[in-house]
Structure 1
Amino acid sequence: MQNERLRAAMAAGGWTHASLAAKVDVDPKSVERWVNLGRTPRRETAIRAAETIEEDVFALWPKLRQARAARAVSPELVALYNQRAELPVSVFVDLFTQARKRIDVLVYAAVFMHEAYPRLNDLLRERAAEGCTVRIAVGDAESINIQQRGQEEEFGHGIESRCRLAIMHYRPLIGTPGIELRTHGTTLYNSIYRADDQMLVNAHVWGANAYAAPVWHLRHHDDGGMFDGYAESFNAVWATAKPVQEG
């Protein structure tokens, strides 16, 4: 979705992608994403850009108002979204792209990522080649907990088939140095998508599919906080999960 207000403000002031990027110290491709894809920059960068083109920052990027409110609740809470469906897949992709040390994924299936971004496996291989440790835990379709989740969501065997589909998507990564794929049969209270010190947590609501449940974006702030709590829960599930074999 394009940011028409930003496009108009830049045109009125004679700003190009390159000139605005140089002024606020970002890559021109970042400005292109703000304009053409509707991406929201980091708050500090957005403020500099808005001041440069003499526009209201919250008018250009309304999501920043939500982020500001979230920070007032917790220093670790970057933003809160009512439903996962509100987030474009680019948010998840950007998160993983920024990772330098660790990527952790804990889900039942989350096949929406591969469906919307077919290069996901390539991205994970690239990050692993650069030194990232990538751990992916997906649901074991034979688990009673997963079968019960399907009943609760009135999704029948759909969730089981999506777990199998997720394995099919990730299976080509098996054997890649730095990447490990496991299955788990735990009761999943939250889906977790971690990249270094940032994390997207998709809370689960009884009877609702994950796409209709809230997501909070966390950034590690202090030891022992919310971020660490979710990171520890990932590690606990990972310790019980079973490696997926080749073939």
Structure 2
Amino acid sequence: MASRGWTHSTLAEASGVDPKSVERWVNLGRVPRRATAMKAAEALGEDIHALWPALRQARSAKAVSPELVALYEQRADLPVSVFVDLLSSAQERVDVLVYAAVFLHEAYPRLNDLLRERAEAGCQVRICLGDADSQKVQLRGQEERFGHGIESRCRLALLHYRSLVDVAGVEIRTHGTTLYNSIYRADDQALVNAHVWGVNAYGAPVWHLRRVEGGSMFDTYAESFDAVWSTAREVR
């Protein structure tokens, strides 16, 4: 619709409907009744025979989820400030599920201070790292042709977070699960780094999600974190 220069307001006015109805047509792929479409076509000076098929085609198209804030082709495209800003915004919860993700500490040495500050402000901070001795971590190293490198990075990540082990409000665990996605959550927003077989995480896509009423994508990843967390071992 946008390609023809129509806006939500002009189409709503021409159709005699509420703008929210138009948002549902555009965002959810719904189509108005034929009589409504004919009224809109007449008001907009469009040929109903051209307008109606376009609206029918929209019905079969899958709308982009309103939970998707942004999509990045690969993690390397994101400056570390995107991760830092997200975690800094947390008021209630910070969840991090990774194998290592040492790029955060390497690019932002104040990460531990940030997490400590969030915990002191009342946030629940949960960090879940890969167990370097687990078969799943070792297999990932083989699949990414990174060998023992990923195991050493898991150990390095644990060293980075060691100073937070006794901080109130911060809990650190290690897991030995297959990591399908790395998750960086702050309250109702999350950066999800997808994992692709044979590709290092920095070369895989990242989507920025937010929880919205009626949505399920965000909760799917939040529940995935909780499932892994329940199997992980506490670092003492």
User: Is this contact kept in 1: 2:90–2:123, CA < 8 A?
Assistant: yes
Question: 1:129 and 1:171 mapped to 2: Cα distance?
Answer: 17
Does 2:108 correspond to 1:117?
yes
Taking the TM superposition and a 5 Å limit, the aligned residue runs for 1:91-170 are: 91-170=82-161
Which amino acid in structure 2 is aligned with residue 200 of structure 1?
L
Gaps of at least 5 residues in structure 2 are 1-62
Taking the TM superposition and a 5 Å limit, the aligned residue runs for 1:66-81 are: 73-81=64-72
Q: Which one of 200, 203, 225 corresponds to residue 209 of structure 1? A: 200
Name 1:184's counterpart in structure 2: 175
Per-residue deviation at 1:241? 0.2
Map Cα deviations across residues 32-81 of structure 1 (whole Å, 9 max, x no partner): xxxxxxxxxxxxxxxxxxxxxxxxxxxxxxxxxxxxxxxx6110000000
Per-residue deviation at 1:166? 0.2
Does 2:219 correspond to 1:228?
yes
Question: 1:103 and 1:244 mapped to 2: Cα distance?
Answer: 17
Name 1:48's counterpart in structure 2: none
Per-residue deviation at 1:138? 0.3
Name 2:186's counterpart in structure 1: 195
Name 2:164's counterpart in structure 1: 173
Gaps of at least 5 residues in structure 1 are 1-71
Which amino acid in structure 1 is aligned with residue 217 of structure 2?
M
Question: 1:223 and 1:73 mapped to 2: Cα distance?
Answer: 14
Q: Secondary structure at the match of 2:196?
A: coil
Question: 1:177 and 1:224 mapped to 2: Cα distance?
Answer: 33
Which amino acid in structure 2 is aligned with residue 82 of structure 1?
E
Question: 2:235 and 2:140 mapped to 1: Cα distance?
Answer: 22
Per-residue deviation at 1:167? 0.1
Q: Secondary structure at the match of 1:200?
A: strand
Which amino acid in structure 1 is aligned with residue 204 of structure 2?
A
Does 2:74 correspond to 1:83?
yes
The aligned length equals 174
Question: 1:148 and 1:127 mapped to 2: Cα distance?
Answer: 34
Per-residue deviation at 1:222? 2.6
TM-score normalised to structure 1 length:
0.70
Q: 1:223 to 1:165 in 2, by over 3 A?
A: farther
Name 1:64's counterpart in structure 2: none
Question: 2:182 and 2:88 mapped to 1: Cα distance?
Answer: 19
Query: CA RMSD, aligned part only?
Result: 0.8
TM-score normalised to structure 2 length:
0.73
Question: 1:76 and 1:222 mapped to 2: Cα distance?
Answer: 9
User: Is this contact kept in 1: 2:74–2:202, CA < 8 A?
Assistant: yes
Per-residue deviation at 1:233? 0.3
Question: After TM superposition, where is structure 1 displaced by more than 6 Å over at least 4 residues in a row?
Answer: none
Larger radius of gyration: 2
Per-residue deviation at 1:223? 4.8
Name 1:4's counterpart in structure 2: none
User: Is this contact kept in 1: 2:132–2:155, CA < 8 A?
Assistant: yes
Question: 1:85 and 1:96 mapped to 2: Cα distance?
Answer: 18
User: Is this contact kept in 1: 2:67–2:215, CA < 8 A?
Assistant: no
Per-residue deviation at 1:140? 0.1
